[in-house]
Amino acid sequence: MIKNDCIFCKMAAGQVPVTKIYEDEIVLAFLDIGPVSDGHTLVIPKQHFEKLHDCPQQLLGQVGSCLGRIARAVEVAMSSDGYNVLCNNGRAAGQLVEHLHFHIIPRNSGDGVFNRWPAYKYQQGKIEEIAAKIRRSL
Ligand code: 5GP
Ligand code: ZN
């Protein structure tokens, strides 16, 4: 499952150079070319899936099981105070490359990379209504 016009598929196939961090049969991890902090790493399944929910459960498990190990290595190597693991799904959520990928972004206190998102409170009764709607979609 390789998509011809997909840059990440080309990387997985060895047709485009990457600064590799880790590779096995299923997963490739490499440095992001446009980092938001030093050590910003991308972890991808080698097969092409656009969004998280497109990736079969077992394969997703294999990708997920690598994430912690790679994140730890990034944190240790960068001597960072923490990291974000981000997965943008869909244009509206900021996904520019339509091949499933997880960002590992090393963070340091006060680095200003992200600010808190604009959280708000649910109106009375709304939280249960929304939870029920999501449960019905499972
Ligand atoms: P998205 O916004 O889709 O979640 O993030 C895509 C990421 O892929 C961006 O952070 C971008 O810098 C990175 N990226 C795009 N093209 C390339 C490339 O050719 N090489 C590498 N290493 N990273 C890329
Ligand atoms: Zn792809």
Domain ranges of the chain: 7-137
Average pLDDT of the residues of the chain: 97
Could you give the CA distance from residue 113 to residue 116 in angstroms, rounded to a whole number?
Answer: 10
Task: Please say if the pLDDT value at position 5 is more than 90.
Answer: yes
- Superfamily covering domain 7-137: HIT-like (3.30.428.10)
Put simply, whether the predicted model's pTM sits higher than 0.85 gets the answer: yes
Residue 19 alpha carbon, nearest atom of ligand 1? 22
What local confidence, expressed as pLDDT, does residue 116 receive?
A: 87
Whether 99 sits among the annotated catalytic residues: the reply is no
Condensed to tens digits (0 to 9), the pLDDT of residues 80-128 reads: 999 999 999 999 999 999 999 999 999 999 999 988 899 999 999 999 9
What local confidence, expressed as pLDDT, does residue 3 receive?
A: 86
| Ligand 2 midpoint to CA 56 (Å) | 15
| Nearest residue to 46 (alpha-carbon basis) of 63, 65, 68 | 63
| Ligand 2 midpoint to CA 137 (Å) | 27
The residue to mutate among 10, 42, 49, having the most atoms of ligand 1 within 8 angstroms of its beta carbon, is: 42
| Nearest residue to 27 (alpha-carbon basis) of 100, 78, 96 | 100
| Ligand 2 midpoint to CA 122 (Å) | 38
